[in-house]
Amino acid sequence: MTNSSQVLHFTLTAYFDIGSLKYLYFMMVMCFYVLIIGSNVLLIVVICVNRSLHEPMFLFLCSLFVNELFGSLGLFPFLLVQILSDVHSVSAPLCFLQIFCVYSYAAVEVLNLAVMSYDRYVAICFPLQYHSTMTDRKVALLIALTWALPVLATVVLVSLSAPLRLCGNVIDKVFCGNFSIVKLSCSNTSVNNVYGLVLTVVSIVAPLVLILYTYGKILEVCFSATKQTRQKAVSTCTPHLASILNFSFGCCFQILQSRFELSRVPPLLAIVLSLYFLTCQPLFNPALYGLKMAAIRDACKRLLCGENSAPAAASHA
């Protein structure tokens, strides 16, 4: 038995030989990454430079876009190197760093979406109290907690996995995962399993319960509200709901790929499904919000085309 501190590298066996096609895949992934960086940075700049967008809803969106950049940084540079490499291995420190990036990204994403659902709940169910409830101080506190809690929880997760005694160094994935490391352990992993379960409940189940509760209340209000209120609710909630569903599907793919043997799934499809929540969400969100929300769309036009039209009023109800 060996200690994880003595393991110099991990071998990733989910990659398969693609010959000269690796250069084509490299260019495709590179273009995808550049598009993710460009779209998210654009919307972050648009929100930051337009004072009309310095409202809770858009500040939470800005936090979401920053997290997309963070999650992409934890995967794409690593993925690009592995595509060109003939030996698919990763050093132990880099592996644990990637685990930290991927897991904290996922936890921040879910919590950020939950906070956004709470913001919509207050705006639609209590429109007259919205500005007194969603104060600048409260918004800053929510954003800080959205980042601090997942980061601290992920630090503990990695700290529990790093000292484990390992019986091997082979990971059957295209990137490092905490559960893959735990499965290699020769020692007792009951603490890791219990903490992993608690972390899943706290970081995923609890935010999803909050999202379901807030949207249940929003539906109650919409059923008895005016047509104008329903239209405003649909316009602001539709992108958010679509983002939640997209990320949920991606997480389900990842959990299925990690926990169960999917030997009948073609290798390329298995890789795509395992990477879905890390690749599609960072591109899906800026495209969805940039196209669907008129305030952001108009601000982008003014920034890129130099239009002098009046800023679109942000809707909060």
Q: Examine the pLDDT at 5 and tell me if it is beyond 70.
A: no
Find the mean pLDDT for residues 35-41.
94
Q: What is the pLDDT of residue 72?
A: 93
SS3 state of residue 143: helix
C-alpha span between 90 and 292 (Å, rounded): 40
- In this prediction, residue 1 has a pLDDT band, given cuts at 50, 70 and 90, of very low
Q: What is the pLDDT of residue 315?
A: 42
The answer to whether 121 touches 222, Cβ cutoff 8 Å, is: no
Report residue 9: phi and psi, to 5°: -155, 160
Token pair listed for 241 = 């709901």
Question: pLDDT tens-digit profile of 68-82?
Answer: 999 999 999 999 999
The answer to whether 133 touches 153, Cβ cutoff 8 Å, is: no
Q: Examine the pLDDT at 2 and tell me if it is beyond 60.
A: no
C-alpha span between 244 and 208 (Å, rounded): 9
93-102, 181-190, 199-208, 213-222: which is most confident: 93-102
Q: What is the pLDDT of residue 311?
A: 45
Q: Examine the pLDDT at 259 and tell me if it is beyond 70.
A: no
Read off the amino acid at residue 273: L
Q: What is the pLDDT of residue 252?
A: 78
Angle formed by the axes of helices 92-125 and 267-292, nearest 10°? 40
Q: Examine the pLDDT at 306 and tell me if it is beyond 50.
A: yes
Question: pLDDT tens-digit profile of 56-70?
Answer: 999 999 999 999 999
Beta bridge partners of 165: 3
Percent of the chain predicted with pLDDT > 70: 91
Among 49, 58, 84, smallest CA distance to 240 is for 58
User: What structural domains does the chain harbor?
Assistant: 8-305 (1.20.1070.10)
Find the mean pLDDT for residues 87-107.
92
Question: In this predicted structure, which of 15-19, 104-108, 143-147 has the lowest mean pLDDT?
Answer: 15-19
SS3 state of residue 9: strand
Among 3, 182, 174, 157, smallest CA distance to 88 is for 174
Question: In this predicted structure, which of 6-10, 116-120, 176-180 has the lowest mean pLDDT?
Answer: 6-10
CA distances to 164, 182, 235, 241 from 169, in Å: 12, 11, 49, 40
The answer to whether 202 touches 153, Cβ cutoff 8 Å, is: yes
The answer to whether 125 touches 218, Cβ cutoff 8 Å, is: yes
C-alpha span between 151 and 72 (Å, rounded): 16
Q: What is the pLDDT of residue 309?
A: 45
Question: pLDDT tens-digit profile of 261-285?
Answer: 656 667 677 777 778 888 889 999 9
The answer to whether 110 touches 208, Cβ cutoff 8 Å, is: yes
Find the mean pLDDT for residues 7-20.
82
The answer to whether 53 touches 47, Cβ cutoff 8 Å, is: yes
SS3 state of residue 219: helix
| In 18-85, beta strands by DSSP E | none
Mean pLDDT of the chain: 85
